[in-house]
Amino acid sequence: MSAVETVGPAAVPQLQAQVEQIIAEARKQGASACEVAVSVEQGLSTSVRRGEVETVEFNRDQGFGITLYVGQRKGSASTSASGEAAIRETVAAALAIAKHASEDDCAGLADAALMARELPQLDLYHAWAISPEQAIEQALRCEAAAFAADPRIKNADGTTLNSHQGCRVYGNSHGFVGGYASTRHSLSCVMIAEDGGQMQRDYWYDVNRQGELLADAADIGRRAAQRTVSRLGARPVPTCEVPVLFSAESATGLFGHFLAAISGGNLYRQSSFLEGALGQQLFPAWLKLDERPHIPRALGSAAFDGDGLATYAKSFVEGGELLSYVLGTYSGRKLGMPSTANAGGVHNLFVSHGDEDQQALLKRMGRGLLVTELMGHGLNLVTGDYSRGAGGYWVENGEIQFPVQEVTIAGNLRDMFGQIVAVGNDLELRSNIHTGSVLIERMTVAGS
């Protein structure tokens, strides 16, 4: 397996040839079936702090992972080495693991008839011709705008520009081979404000497949500064039960928890509070959650899943009712259900929303907590009990009154999903979960 010269679309044929070479070696060594993923990636990362360059890093990685089967026994191995010897040794290692593994009736490739046939072009690759010097200049301009935005911005915690490109090819012994090149570029700014003996930290960022479409560096810096300064004077609030409005970027986590609860792995292990919930009303009747995997240039788009099955648009929730779990081939077999072509996760989840922006939702809430930051991992997926540290703003009469810190918000996810009052039109587009701000009727806010 020779080194690949490019990471763009031109690398796909070479990586496909490598996949076929590895599959042939696995067959030669006695595997009854196998699947292989080969990738090559490279990236540029620059970070600055207080007007000084902290890091300039260039990375390039290449490698492959193989999962092979000997009957119903499975073994996996991976390597970053290249060359025929590395292929032989990695296949042999996976084979040795398989021979010592227990038999599993659900192990094996997806059915050959289900393999993706036609792969749509999703326009995921947009190389950014940015030099290290230009990347440094953008990061410095971003940070300078943040410092200039407000005299209470006293320090910086790092401004980072990343440009990443890569190519991945998956294939298996059914004859399926599919590959694509993709890019991801981002600019983030973290600032520190100080006033009256209190210090606060906050950030802003943007991410895009196309580097030229990132938000202006100075705008990102100013937004980071404004968010940081607005947290000065933060204090806890007395313990109470009030409505809670999750900002769009915080709300993505709520739906991420939902996807985890309906994912096959957690369901067949009986470690989800939504086990057996198919057909149940979990959300208000107006709410819909659907997957759209073929949107050109979207961050979560994919033509096929981790098993080689063609992805397709589908609803997980419609009319508030749970219509489908999130299943790959293995988890589907464990549950006695067909795969939903979601091995590896969900691609572009869309949450239905109304026509109110966050300001309108604050008015509707009246009195309560606007959450803009969540801390800790206080979720029990078995019971749905939810308890997270939070920061944000206290709201009275539909208006923000003061910033809040050192509080915990608590509830049960099943209750929280059922008590969603509205979803705003202020969509978060920097994630594969597209949602607006989410207003929940009532949660416990524990403070001083």
- Please name the helix (run of DSSP H) or strand (run of DSSP E) that holds residue 202, with its range, or none: strand 198-208
DSSP state of 325: -
Q: Rounded CA gap, 394 and 367, in Å?
A: 8
- Please name the helix (run of DSSP H) or strand (run of DSSP E) that holds residue 358, with its range, or none: helix 358-365
User: Residue 42: which residues within 8 A CB-CB, separation 6 or more?
Assistant: 7, 58, 59, 60, 61, 164, 165, 166
Task: Give the ranges where 37-167 is alpha helix by DSSP (H).
Answer: 84-100, 132-149
Q: Rounded CA gap, 363 and 150, in Å?
A: 28
> Residue 310, by phi and psi: left (phi above 0), alpha (psi -120 to 50) or beta?
beta
| Torsion angle, alpha carbons of 80, 83, 84, 89, to 10 | -30
- pLDDT (average), residues 425-431: 95
What is the percent of the chain with per-residue pLDDT over 90, rounded to a whole number?
Answer: 96
Q: What pLDDT is recorded for position 4? A: 63
Q: What pLDDT is recorded for position 37? A: 97
Residue 7: pLDDT band with limits 50, 70, 90: confident
Query: What pLDDT digit, counting tens, does each position of 71-86 carry?
Result: 999 999 999 988 899 9
- pLDDT (average), residues 399-428: 97
Query: What pLDDT digit, counting tens, does each position of 370-387 carry?
Result: 999 999 888 999 999 999
Coil, strand or helix at 125 = coil
- Judge whether 317 and 289 are in contact, CB under 8 Å: yes
Q: Rounded CA gap, 237 and 406, in Å?
A: 9
- Flag whether pLDDT at 421 surpasses 70: yes
Token pair recorded at residue 143: 């940070």
Coil, strand or helix at 285 = coil
- Flag whether pLDDT at 405 surpasses 60: yes
Q: Rounded CA gap, 101 and 25, in Å?
A: 21
Q: Rounded CA gap, 382 and 365, in Å?
A: 30
What is the percent of the chain with per-residue pLDDT over 70, rounded to a whole number?
Answer: 99
- Judge whether 289 and 350 are in contact, CB under 8 Å: yes
Cβ neighbour number for residue 65 with a 10 Å cutoff = 17
Q: What pLDDT is recorded for position 246? A: 98
Q: Rounded CA gap, 83 and 77, in Å?
A: 16
Q: What pLDDT is recorded for position 448? A: 63
- Flag whether pLDDT at 351 surpasses 80: yes
Query: What pLDDT digit, counting tens, does each position of 16-31 carry?
Result: 999 999 999 999 999 9
Partnered with residue 235 across adjacent β-strands are 404
Longest dimension (CA), the chain: 72
Q: What pLDDT is recorded for position 12? A: 94
CA angle 56, 153, 185 (to 5 degrees): 35
Residue 354: pLDDT band with limits 50, 70, 90: very high
User: Closest Cα partner for 22 from 71, 95, 114?
Assistant: 95
- Flag whether pLDDT at 2 surpasses 80: no
